[in-house]
A = this chain, B = another copy of it.
Amino acid sequence: MRKITKEVTIYDLAKALNVSPTTVSRALNDHHSIGKDTTQAVKKLAKKLGYRPNSVASSLRKNKSNTIGVIMPLISRPFVASVISGIEEEANQAGFNVIISQTYDSYEKEVANAQTLYSNRVAGLIVSLAMETQTYDHFYPFMQKDIPLVSIDRISDELETDRIVIDNFAAAYKATEHLIKMGCRRIAHFGGAQHRNVYYERQQGYIEALKHYGMEVEDELMVHNKLSLEEGRESMAQLLSLPQPPDAVFSANDSAAVGAIQVAKQRGLHIPQDIAFVGFNDDPISSIIDPALTTITHPAFEMGKIAAQQVLKNRENTDIVQSQTIVLKTELLIRASSLRKTT
């Protein structure tokens, strides 16, 4: 039979040491006003008796927990997993925990998650919006209570928060320009939902590069799908059945690009001679596919760290501060899938 031991509280410590609970509380929190010996004695006894701080009680009293809430579309995406690791690292260093929740790109789930995290009185919230989301009222309670709110990657103009993003437009422009310089003349694009900033901006970067180099922007070469491996395959098949198929694809993510490469290979096309590919994200699969996929690198871990830093920084800040937008650098990582010639 297991023994259910009663919890040790600061009262128990106080009694045993003949001091007040206040003193114990302060000692445990390294309050400056407590004598060194007292502090040491308290900590020593706490250790001896196996005292475990009850952060629930502390959170209630302070009306704020030591937990940062995180809402992400899907943690199994390598990009997202890295972002979370970055958040965790920074949060843990500051003694904060992280509650992670997934939306599966559903608006409903996002609303539910936001409410739950609010109920848990998270000290801050880091969000990457669900694909579906187009209204933002569910974040209003956080803003009303001045709970730091930071958007990552997938943001919205209608949601005024600190933002950690990359320059999707520039990255896409660079990717497309690279294909052009490699001699590609009919460049297709796989894009995602256009109401989500990242996909819109990537498509705009693509379009702008084409225009700048005097190439036509053709609707039949701009495909919108869910950017899964499967849909990448389907879209590729569709493009290859055009009277004039493309000689390159710039995909808004790696999964779809990899699917497309698989189809192209099956059809006996030579990559990159017959058709070149550029993806986006630098997921692990991008370096495994053969030929290796040229892609855009994302500083995901860094983005997570900065997001957590912003939350921690804004934590005590009741002032009216302008929301910040931090834009991180991306790089074009050239690999075999697009390297038609060496410059």
- B60 near A57 with CB under 8 A, answer yes
Tell me if A120 counts as interface (CB < 8 A to partner B): yes
Q: Which residues of B contact A121 (CB under 8 A)?
A: 54-56
Segment at the B interface, from A34-42, A141-149, A189-197, A241-249: A141-149
Question: Nearest Cβ in chain B — how far from A43, in angstroms?
Answer: 15
Tell me if A19 counts as interface (CB < 8 A to partner B): no
Tell me if A116 counts as interface (CB < 8 A to partner B): yes
In the complex, what distance in Å separates the CA atom of A97 from the CA atom of B112? 11
Q: Which residues of B contact A85 (CB under 8 A)?
A: 75-76, 102
Kindly supply a per-residue 1/0 record for chain A positions 281-307, scoring 1 wherever the CB is within 8 Å of any chain B CB and 0 otherwise.
Answer: 000110011100000000000000000
Contact among B4, B57, B145, B320 for A144, CB-based, below 8 A? B4
Interface bracket on A: 35 or more
Question: Nearest Cβ in chain B — how far from A48, in angstroms?
Answer: 15
Contact among B50, B60, B97 for A99, CB-based, below 8 A? B97
Residues of A within 8 A of B (CB): 1-5, 7, 50, 52-57, 59-60, 63, 65, 67, 75-76, 78, 81-82, 84-85, 88, 92, 97-102, 112, 115-121, 141, 143-146, 258, 284-285, 288-290, 318, 320
